[in-house]
Structure 1
Amino acid sequence: MNDATALADQVRAGEVDAATAVDEAIARCEEVNPTINAIVEQTYDTARHSAAQFDTARHSAAQFDTARHSAAQFDTARQRAAALSASGDNSGLLAGVPIALKDLHCPAEGEPAYQGNRRLAELDYRYSETGAVARRWAEAGAVSIGHSHSPELGGGQCPAAAETALYGPTRNPWNTDHTVLGSSGGAAAAVAAGIVRIAHASDGGGSIRIPASANGLVGLKPSRGRISGAPSGEGWGGGTTDGAVALTVRDAALALDVLAGPEPGDPYVPAHPAPAAGYVAEVGQDPGQLRIGVSSTLPFADTELLCTQAAEAAAGILDGLGHRVEAGLPEPMASNDYMYDYIRVIRTSATATLRSYEGVLGRPWAEDDVEPVAWINYQRGAKISAPDYMDSRERLHHFTRRMVSWWNTEPGSGDGFDLLLTPTLGVVPPPVGYLVEGDERTLTKRLAKVTPYLPQFNVTGQPAISVPLGTPDGMSPEGLPIGVQLVAAPGREDVLLRVAAQMEQAAPWSHRRPAVAV
């Protein structure tokens, strides 16, 4: 299946109507969603209405200048999208492309806001306003056909799973006995299975990169402040961000061009400005020779051999591309001590989030209102004092300063590294239920095994990308994908996209299809 960039090209050229593209996506969802359970709330009527409006506007040329953005004007899709982005006109970047919005903190006025919670579903709670992320998708011409599965209120039994008491498990399209992981698990399953070609996702501890790895996709976690969370404030002490899961690197760049940009009152500013021509223009550009540190294991983690081998194979690819590849690891990553403070921030934030819905419930939360581990974390978060919370925030700021000093601020400058390469996950995607069935202590240990390489960069706010390895060794014996992670200096998504595109060309992955796909 072609990627989102190619479909947007077809719509802009008048080869496909948005209404047709949406109807085809709905048909694909009806075909495979009963097997994988990726889309948990359908918004088909709204999607068809939006697509019809888009087509009317395009055909009348009132809001879309076909001649100015015609496919014949530019040599490549990259140049076309770059021209749109540089002009400040995002109306055609994802012209008529069907997507899915994650069922978690992505408000679109009038749409279900259940977020995996059975009490909110019983009340048919709906969003009263549209946030910046949903608005920017729509302004770019993307049309949401539904909400993708994620854990209950972002935590539930496990924040890295898409398995809820309300909806059941999302199953991995590559092997349905195994989990898609999460939290953006439904989004990743929908893209991998071909329901949509790109999907909204978010990341507070790896939740874009985790399911991207587990489903053979590209998952870019942007820098802190690159994408506005308006009208909300900072999530998890600034650790969360929105983004996308995609089939190709150019689609990941396109999504960043769509979503990036400030909103009034944003609490953070990215450490490096976006490229003037947009991120799509970075795909295919020569990154130069970079110094890349590789760590295929961590001292505190028991990384599975296949994940270690994936990172080592990726290092070989990068070496073959002419980069300076050597063993390297930021000193603070040798310890997992920072997680004590980040978990304290997460629990406090989760408790505050639950309390914000008490007005919807009309009463305080009770134990049977949420999943068991969510209730435990709610109680623990309520006991964290303000001074203790601030103490943890200060330690995390210190951790961040120590971490980012390892990277060059400009590629190829100084004595630091330009990129860090690691496995994305510590384990091959486990069976369905592994992360949600058991007591809280057991589930915490299992989560830690999955994500030893990821939350550090939510704390530091650095951009990180997971890409499929793309070689025959990039699949497990169970037929499951294995990804690798690249991390850049704060604000340097441009470097990540250039190098990821190099890897995609050297070891292509987009031709691979899972067992459950249309």
Structure 2
Amino acid sequence: MKFEEYRRHDAVGLAGLVSKGEVSAAELLDTALERMAQVNPALNAVTLELADFGRKEAADKPTGALAGVPYLLKDLGALLEGTVTSSGSALLKDNVAAADSAITKAYRDAGLVIFGKTNTPEFGLLPVTESTFLGPCRNPWDISRTPGGSSGGAASAVAAGIVPAAHASDGGGSIRTPASACGLFGMKPSRGRVSFAPLGEGWGGASVQHAVTRSVRDSAVLLDIACQPQVGDPYYLAAPSRPYADEVARPPGSLRIGFTTAALASDALDPECAQAVVDAAKLCASLGHTVEEVTLPGNLAAMQQAAGDVIAASVAATFDAEAERRGRPVTDADVEMLTWAMAQRGTGVTGAGYVRGLAAIHAYGRAVAALFETYDVLLLSTLGSPAIPIGHLHEDLRRFSERLFAFMPNTQAFNNTGQPAMSVPLAWSKSNLPIGLQFVGRMGDEATLFRLAGQLEVAKPWFDYVAPI
């Protein structure tokens, strides 16, 4: 199959061609590998090639909902037996998985052909993908800019056409941030929707797994595949009343949508992002929804401080486990400066401090949930600006936090409330950089978001608007 034809299809479309015998899984994989060879040297999106594994999977004539579709795993969170999951760090460069994780098994059972792993910042700590170990990943819309993070490699690979969809995870915006930066659809599911088995909870339950995709229906099908609770999961949501794939074409009805042009964790949005929110609000109103400007409740600063403590303590715990495994302590020479600083902060978080931090996070979730007694959906900008230049966060360390939250002011809140949130590619800047709009739903209500996303995809299509690389 030629690349031009390959790129005209999403994952569901490619699987349909395979099921009808119009193309084989091996042919699709060859096209994906050829595209990767063409663009990956410029992007550094795929950092571990598993072509031989993929060829074996394709030769076995996979079956399932997405049989034969080439797929990539993020190098963090999802384990593939016999392969390294480095989490973007030299510290874990020899971390070979003894077995597939639950989500990997679900993907393989669905017939996806895994042939590589994608770039991520060290331990997924940043909204840019520039680890010392794996090297910087670049944005197909402008290779001088970041694709976002921490699922930057996944988004870069999808936006460049290597695959139509890729595995991703999100602990503070790591699905929505790169989806926004790369012009993709990115759904962060509710806490408990997708199992992390056999690993434990991530960042106090803030971290979740799913995917970045070009089409809404791909995201829905992938979530249907992945939302399989496992025995012993610390968080659990009941199965949806109908498949998410069925929701995409269902009318959402007249929704009550609250919107804000605020930057929750910084002073203000980039003017183009603020205008994109206003334009999206007008679009929603034109589709028959009731749209009103709102102010988000809750003590955001207390939540952010608490979330920082939880993340830092989690990094410190990772260091403790690795030190125990290898029989010597982790030092500042083993990891990046930011990671080391986070671990040092984490060693100062007491047990009581951790519990109080979780209480502050839960209090914030309760406050925000009150807004959704009035509104079905909240609309706001995904990011504070379009994709920033590579190196921007690190070139002036005195302004690191300021620049960090200027770029990602609006995503972390909804990891900590646990609510589903999606970034929808509805706008582009004057310099042709994507701008994602974030829609947040009630806890457990991905269905409403998928119905709204399906409507928006029809009203303002983005699938054929592809990166110029």
| TM-score using structure 1 length | 0.87
Matched, 1:15 2:22: yes
Alignment partner, residue 269 of structure 2: 303
Alignment CA distance shift 1:359-1:128 (3 Å): farther
Query: What is the aligned counterpart of 1:141 among 95, 111, 123?
Result: 111
Name the CA distance, whole Å, in 1 between partners of 2:194 and 2:267.
31
Name the CA distance, whole Å, in 2 between partners of 1:222 and 1:169.
27
Query: What is the aligned counterpart of 1:284 among 209, 231, 249?
Result: 249
What are the residue-to-residue correspondences of 1:149-228 with 2, within 5 Å?
A: 149-155=119-125, 159-228=126-195
Name the CA distance, whole Å, in 2 between partners of 1:161 and 1:487.
22
8 Å contact from structure 1 (residues 161, 436) kept in 2:
no
Q: 1:172 is paired with a residue of what secondary structure?
A: coil
Alignment CA distance shift 1:430-1:395 (3 Å): same
Matched, 1:488 2:441: yes
Matched, 1:345 2:315: no
Alignment-mate amino acid for residue 32 of structure 1 = V
Name the CA distance, whole Å, in 1 between partners of 2:388 and 2:262.
19
Alignment partner, residue 392 of structure 1: 357
Name the CA distance, whole Å, in 2 between partners of 1:399 and 1:297.
17
Superposed CA deviations along residues 435-461 of structure 1, whole A, max 9, x for unmatched, are 24442x422221111121111111111
Query: What is the aligned counterpart of 2:415 among 438, 451, 458?
Result: 458
Q: Identify unmatched segments of 5+ residues in structure 2.
A: 1-6
Matched, 1:425 2:383: yes
8 Å contact from structure 1 (residues 301, 452) kept in 2:
no
Query: What is the aligned counterpart of 1:114 among 64, 72, 86?
Result: 86
Query: What is the aligned counterpart of 1:126 among 82, 93, 96?
Result: 96
What are the residue-to-residue correspondences of 1:489-504 with 2, within 5 Å?
A: 489-504=442-457
In the TM superposition, residue 301 of structure 1 has moved relative to its aligned partner by: 2.9
Name the CA distance, whole Å, in 1 between partners of 2:361 and 2:399.
26
Name the CA distance, whole Å, in 1 between partners of 2:47 and 2:463.
26
Query: What is the aligned counterpart of 1:434 among 373, 386, 392?
Result: 392
8 Å contact from structure 2 (residues 251, 451) kept in 1:
yes
Name the CA distance, whole Å, in 1 between partners of 2:79 and 2:295.
38
Alignment partner, residue 370 of structure 1: 335
Alignment-mate amino acid for residue 350 of structure 1 = V
In the TM superposition, residue 366 of structure 1 has moved relative to its aligned partner by: 0.8
Q: Identify unmatched segments of 5+ residues in structure 1.
A: 56-90, 409-415
Matched, 1:508 2:461: yes
In the TM superposition, residue 359 of structure 1 has moved relative to its aligned partner by: 4.0
In the TM superposition, residue 478 of structure 1 has moved relative to its aligned partner by: 2.7
Runs of 4 or more above 4 Å deviation? none
Name the CA distance, whole Å, in 1 between partners of 2:314 and 2:289.
41
Name the CA distance, whole Å, in 1 between partners of 2:206 and 2:256.
27
In the TM superposition, residue 393 of structure 1 has moved relative to its aligned partner by: 0.7
Matched, 1:448 2:415: no
Name the CA distance, whole Å, in 2 between partners of 1:482 and 1:330.
21
Alignment CA distance shift 1:322-1:392 (3 Å): same
Alignment CA distance shift 1:360-1:51 (3 Å): farther
8 Å contact from structure 2 (residues 124, 149) kept in 1:
no
In the TM superposition, residue 54 of structure 1 has moved relative to its aligned partner by: 2.4
Superposed CA deviations along residues 455-493 of structure 1, whole A, max 9, x for unmatched, are 111111100000101xxxx22233210010000000000
8 Å contact from structure 1 (residues 275, 494) kept in 2:
no
Alignment partner, residue 28 of structure 1: 35
Superposed CA deviations along residues 340-370 of structure 1, whole A, max 9, x for unmatched, are 0111111111111222222444311011100
Name the CA distance, whole Å, in 2 between partners of 1:481 and 1:28.
22
Superposed CA deviations along residues 247-301 of structure 1, whole A, max 9, x for unmatched, are 011111111111112000011122x64133x100001101110100010114653
Alignment-mate amino acid for residue 252 of structure 2 = P
Alignment partner, residue 54 of structure 2: 47
Aligned-residue RMSD, C-alpha: 1.4
Q: 2:145 is paired with a residue of what secondary structure?
A: strand
Name the CA distance, whole Å, in 1 between partners of 2:448 and 2:43.
34
8 Å contact from structure 1 (residues 329, 420) kept in 2:
no
What are the residue-to-residue correspondences of 1:39-118 with 2, within 5 Å?
A: 39-54=46-61, 91-118=63-90
Q: 1:268 is paired with a residue of what secondary structure?
A: coil
8 Å contact from structure 1 (residues 226, 269) kept in 2:
yes
Alignment CA distance shift 1:34-1:298 (3 Å): closer
Q: 1:201 is paired with a residue of what secondary structure?
A: strand
Q: Would you say how many aligned residue pairs link Structure 1 and Structure 2? A: 461
Name the CA distance, whole Å, in 2 between partners of 1:181 and 1:151.
10
